[in-house]
Amino acid sequence: AKLGAEIAGKIVALAVRKGETVTKGQAIARIDKRDLDIQVERAEALLKVREKEHKAVQSLKNKGLQGEVAFSKAQADLIEARAGLRNAKIALRNTAVIAPFNGVVERLYIELGDFVGVGDPVATLIDLSQIVIEADVSERHIQDLVIEQPAWVTFIDGQRTEGKIH
Helix axes 36-62, 68-93, angle to 10 degrees: 160
DSSP H helical segments within the chain, as ranges?
Answer: 36-62, 68-93, 139-142
Evaluate if residue 111 carries a pLDDT over 90: yes
Check residue 67 and give its pLDDT: 85
Check residue 64 and give its pLDDT: 85
Task: Enter the pTM of the model.
Answer: 0.71
Average pLDDT over residues 16-28: 95
Evaluate if residue 53 carries a pLDDT over 90: yes
* Gap between the Cα atoms of 148 and 139, Å rounded: 19
Evaluate if residue 88 carries a pLDDT over 90: yes
Evaluate if residue 129 carries a pLDDT over 90: no
* Gap between the Cα atoms of 95 and 9, Å rounded: 8
Evaluate if residue 131 carries a pLDDT over 90: no
* Gap between the Cα atoms of 63 and 81, Å rounded: 26
Instruction: Identify the three-state secondary structure at position 154.
Output: strand
Task: Place 135 in a pLDDT band, splitting at 50, 70 and 90.
Answer: confident
Check residue 156 and give its pLDDT: 86
Average pLDDT, the chain: 93
Task: Place 42 in a pLDDT band, splitting at 50, 70 and 90.
Answer: very high
Average pLDDT over residues 142-154: 91
